[in-house]
Structure 1
Amino acid sequence: MGPGVTCPWSGRLPRLQVRTWIEPVVASTQVAASLYDTGLLLVLKASFGGGGSSNHSASPSPRGALEDQQQRAISNFYIIYNLVVGLTPLLSAYGLGWLSDRYHRKISICVSLLGFLLSRLGLLLKVLLDWPVEMLYGAAALNGLCGGFSAFWSGVMALGSLGSSEGRRSVRLILIDLILGLAGFCGSMASGHLFKQMAGHSGQGLILTACSVSCATFALFYSLLVLKVPESVAKPSKELPSVDTVSGTVGTYRTLDPDQLDKQSVVGHLPSPGKAKPPKTILALLFVGAIIYDLAVVGTVDVLPLFVLREPLKWNQVQVGYGMAAGYTIFITSFLGVLVFSRCFQDTTMIMIGMVSFGSGALLLAFVKETYMFYIARAVMMFALIPITTIRSAMSKLIKGSSYGKVFVILQLSLALTGVVTSTMYNKIYQLTMETFVGTCFALSSFLSFLAIIPIGIVAYKQVPWSQYGGIAEK
């Protein structure tokens, strides 16, 4: 590859090409998000009587009844909050994606980061001025009306795809996920300590929320003033004659090596140059698998913060931060897993490995009684990020670059919409079962995760005719 390659992970780059890297925006945004998530949970705990000074007042209610009441109050808040966060982007995210495709790639990123900053300011004002927690619904609505995470992440995926060749795109996208995970891990590890820096009813959490606002501000101004849209680095047709992009869908990442593509183009006999039409049934099955698996993941993530605050774990602020940081380690282990598994497994096999990993970990979570058991369950989930990332990167090779914004937004909005339904369902199930079997939601997530293997398994079965498009590359 020549020096003009825009991917920041291969080769020597001209100085100005550094401005095309999306990683600083992703890292600063995720640090702000991880600080915010911990801060929101702990602020709610204090506001609903679990961590404030009012907790020491005399009360005729038994301790267990107060804890259950607090859990229901926090759960009910999250039901409405997640509905607002999930539904409001439906009004604007697709329009932002269309504008990004038509006018400028940074539109969806910059507008969504503005809403992101406003929502973080909302939590800061709640802590500083002791406003009621209901005002956070309005802050979440502002974030959603500006596109929310759906618009932001679709913009990030579009820039990441444009700044890499098709041969390197899968690795490029999972590297962005790796940066996201590392930033979230660092933010979560520090969050509990930052929350305790100021004592008092109105001061606790002030430094944490201020740091979150600062990181969000940096991300917005960096995207506005520094970030540049990379030029497409797709290889000319004369270098890659008749290369069908379906080869990257079920083939391993080894087959996406540009050095292998020329060999495949000589050996394969493809019907026509350019992008061939992908099998609709394959795309539909991949989509169904992603939706079912996302239901399992979202449900577990939504219930987990409530689970660690009550018996039998009953964590403090620092332990909550550490627990959230443990969730981000899957970005690292999933990245390493892709690098290793891609040398000997097909994409569908890697997806199923990730689903089995998460399903097994969720089943262990259902029976957690001690803190060490929680971390064992988290360790079993080490490959949980592989399925969605692999499916997304495969789909990116089946669409034209001019449609990235719209298609990625549609995919992200579909996941967000199903996530809203899942969040409401899981929170209600948690409220109904927390006194009988608190791990019911995790057991359900485990079932859904294993259920998602079925459509992916059908894809694996149907992939046999795809060998003509490039299976496992020969050494």
Structure 2
Amino acid sequence: MDDSDTRAILPDEEESPEDNSIASKCCCPMSMGDNAVCSPPPYSCPLSVSVEPVLFLSMFSLGLQIPLCTQYLWDRISEDLGYNGTDTGKCANHTGPVDPLEKEVETQTAHWNLYINLGAFFISLFSSTLFGSWSDRAGRRPVLIISNLGLATQAALYLLVFYLKLPVAWLLAGRLCSSLTGDFNATLAGCFAYVADTSDRGSRTFRVAILEACIGLAGMFASLIGGPWRRAQGYINPFWMVLATSLASALYAFLFVPESVVPDPEARLLTTKHHRAVVRLYTRKGPEEEKGRLRRLHLWLYSLCFFVVVTVHFGSRNLYVLYELSAPLCWGPEMIGYGSAAQHLTYLSSLAGLKGLQRCLDDSWVALLGLLSNACGLLVISLADTTALMFTGYGLCFLALIPTSVLRSKLSKLVDPSEQGALFASVACVEGLCSMVASGLFNSLYPATLHFMKGFPFLFGALLLTLPAGIIGTLGCQQRRRNTDNSAEAS
């Protein structure tokens, strides 16, 4: 898209006839002309789904491999250093000084995890924005196929490490291969941009919520089967499943997903134009100065809200198991499994709640109810000293994931149809940054506040949510006032 091709969009503007015509087309809704044609996929899916299976399979693959990779690092480093505390149970039951070997294993495992995650993050920060913006011109399907083939390549390299007992540095090589093809961030960007292409403004929030529910369900299934499968059969068979699901996701995108944009045969991948397009989203001035200023301001504010909400979500999730293992809850593996299932059920309850609340409330107020649900749940969890109170906190979070769906939808409505890929690539990068910030902030806060309040990080998260609540509420009131003024002028 050229710099001159700009259209200032007021936040949350009413659905137009053009939006309906776009959503009514199942193939190439972003047509660049009446004679533009894009070829359908080889087969049509009998179910009324589009990219949902792609995201589900990709997330299942990712959710299965991440904890297994950490456990493999621990086992391999323990074997290399001659430490057998995990096998004897000594690491869990000893009361004397910490075994120096155990400390060394823990340190090296943490370091390799850091190297792998940081290497993947910085490379995918570049590649996912590249592929996301490229998909605005080349099409969504190529990005979905390439990113999943990259995840399959990573799984294949991991299997080589397991079979040949290669040095653990090869795990980093596999992760970098996946990052070069956009990693899971490119899949996220492609799927959410596809939904934005094929939905009208009224249904977009719910369509986005369906995709987020796919992420939650896939993560739940992966977490339920990953640990027992590893104990029963080791690492190799689960990683064959990781490889198979990544390939299945790429194959499904190739065979069944209709293209949602008209591919430009002259679109090049390796050009700085794609990264400039991402920067231009947040800096571009529209043809009307006031509308352009509002658009940029709302993009920045909603992105800030998204960053805070997702950081709190990731940070609290990182601490739940540690919080449950220790006194006064002292949960065992079975209760921790029930707690994990309760967390993942939030994806379904948020989806159902969003569908019901949209019948009587605007998206902004639905998001505020979601933030209130999340804050109340975290507040109760911060004070939980019994199992019943802990599950009460999980129950109060039943609408906690609504705000992310609403914010993705609002951001999508602020940009042109030809910029959806660039937008969701930047959102995926923000999500990756949230994971890094949340891990450092909440994992540092937890031990630092144990002496006066064990659940303080959850209380801190609840307080942080007041920032996005204030921003969303203020922008919602401004939009309502603007709509009222427009109605008065029209009458």
User: Which range, TM-score by smaller chain?
Assistant: 0.7 to 0.9
Shift in Å, 1:147: 1.3
Offset at 1:386?
0.7
- Pair 1:422–1:197, CA change in 2 (3 A): same
* 1:138 aligned residue (164, 168, 173): 173
Counterpart of 1:155 in structure 2 is 190
1:6 and 2:26 aligned? yes
Partner Cα distance (2:347, 2:310) in 1: 16
- Out of 360, 379, 385, the position equivalent to 2:401 is 385
Partner of 1:16: 44
On the 8 A contact 1:114/1:220 being kept in 2, the answer is: yes
Return the letter of the residue paired with 2:439. S
Matched, 1:189 2:224: yes
C-alpha offsets along residues 63-108 of structure 1, whole Å, 9 cap, x if unaligned?
Answer: 7956995877766555444433432212211211222112232232
Judged with a 3 Å threshold, the aligned counterparts in structure 2 of structure 1 residues 161 and 82 are, in CA distance, closer, same or farther, namely: same
1:335: Cα distance to partner?
0.7
Instruction: Report what 2:477 is aligned to.
Output: 461
CA distance in 1, matches of 2:150, 2:393: 35
SS at match of 1:392: helix
Pick aligned residue for 2:59 from 22, 30, 33: 30
In 1, distance between residues paired with 2:115 and 2:452?
25
Q: Contact (CA 8 Å) 1:348, 1:456: kept in 2 or not?
A: yes
Letter of the 2:259 counterpart: V
1:211 maps to 241
The AA in structure 2 aligned to 1:151 is: A
Check 1:58–1:153 CA distance in 2 against 1; reply closer, same or farther (3 A cut). Answer: closer
Give the C-alpha shift of residue 293 in structure 1: 1.6
Q: For the aligned residues, what is the CA RMSD?
A: 3.9
Q: Which amino acid aligns with 2:65?
A: Y
Aligned residue type for 1:92: S
CA distance 1:362–1:125, shift in 2 (3 Å):
farther
Name the residue aligned to 2:301. 285
Partner of 2:458: 442
Partner residue, 2:118: 83
Question: SS at 1:187's partner residue?
Answer: helix
Structure 2 counterpart of 1:455, one-letter code? I
TM-score, reference length from structure 1: 0.74
Q: Establish whether residue 424 from structure 1 lines up as the match of residue 440 from structure 2.
A: yes
Matched AA of 1:62 = T
Deviates more, 1:384-393 or 1:182-191: 182-191
The letter for the 2-side match of 1:16 is S
Give 1:179's aligned residue: 214
Q: Tell me, what secondary structure is at the counterpart of 1:411?
A: helix
Q: CA deviation at 1:132?
A: 5.8
Q: Secondary structure at the match of 1:138?
A: helix
SS state of the match for residue 300, structure 2? Answer: helix
| Identical columns (%) | 22
Q: 1:260 matched to which residue of 2?
A: none
Q: Offset of 1:327 from its aligned partner?
A: 2.6
Match of 2:271 in 1: none
The residue identity in structure 2 corresponding to 1:215 is T
Pick closer, same or farther for the CA change 1:426–1:122 going to 2, 3 Å. farther
User: 1:259 maps to which residue?
Assistant: none
Letter in 1 for 2:244: S
Deviation at 1:385, TM superposition (A): 1.1
Q: CA deviation at 1:45?
A: 6.0
Q: CA deviation at 1:338?
A: 0.7
Tell me, yes or no, if the aligned pair for 2:55 and 2:187 is still in contact at 8 Å: no
Question: Under a length normalisation based on structure 2, what TM-score does the superposition of the two structures give?
Answer: 0.72
Aligned to 1:266: none
The AA in structure 2 aligned to 1:294 is V
**Distance verdict in 2 for CA 1:131–1:143, change over 3 Å:** same
* Cα distance in structure 2, aligned partners of 1:302 and 1:347: 29
Given that 1:23 and 1:176 are in contact with CA atoms closer than 8 Å, whether structure 2 keeps it comes out as yes
Counterparts in 2 of 1:390-401, with a 5 A limit? 390-401=406-417
Contact conserved, 2:377 with 2:395, CA < 8 A, in 1?
yes
2:76 equivalent to 1:56:
no
Q: Deviations over 1:13-39 (max 9, x none)?
A: xx8365971122122112222222443
Question: How far 1:406 moved relative to its partner?
Answer: 0.9
SS of alignment partner, residue 62 of structure 1: coil
Give the distance between the partners of 1:119 and 1:322, measured in 2 at CA. 31
Cα gap change, 1:175 to 1:167, in 2 (>3 Å): same
1:289, distance to aligned residue in structure 2 (A): 1.6
Aligned partner of 1:376 in structure 2 is: 392
1:416/1:281 CA distance change after superposition, 3 Å: same
Report the 3-state secondary structure (helix = DSSP H, G, I; strand = E; otherwise coil) of the residue aligned with 1:197.
Answer: helix
- Unpaired runs of 5+ residues, structure 1, are 8-14, 199-203, 233-271
How far apart are 1:157 and its partner, in Å? 0.9
Distance 2:318 2:155 in 1: 19
Q: Tell me how far apart the structure 1 counterparts of residues 422 and 90 of structure 2 sit (CA, whole Å).
A: 56
What amino acid maps onto 2:300 in structure 1?
A
* 2:461 partner letter: S
**1:154/1:408 contact within 8 Å kept:** yes
Comparing 88-97 and 105-114, the one that deviates more: 105-114
Matched, 1:165 2:214: no
1:122-137 matches, within 5 Å, as 122-125=157-160, 127-128=162-163, 135-137=170-172
* C-alpha distance in 1 between matches for 2:172 and 2:111: 12
1:125/1:370 Cα in 2 relative to 1: closer, same or farther (>3 Å)? farther
TM-aligned CA deviation for residue 305 of structure 1? 4.7
Q: 1:57 to 1:42 in 2, by over 3 A?
A: closer
Within 5 Å, give how 1:49-128 maps onto structure 2. Answer: 54-56=86-88, 62=95, 65=98, 78-125=113-160, 127-128=162-163
Q: Deviations over 1:425-453 (max 9, x none)?
A: 33333454568755343232222123332
Instruction: Give aligned pairs, total.
Output: 417
Greater displacement, 162-171 / 122-131: 122-131
Given that residues 192 and 321 in structure 1 are in contact (C-alpha distance below 8 angstroms), is that contact kept between their aligned partners in structure 2?
Answer: no
Counterparts of 1:52 and 1:366, CA distance in 2: 36
How far has the Cα of 1:468 moved from its partner?
Answer: 4.6
Partner of 1:402: 418
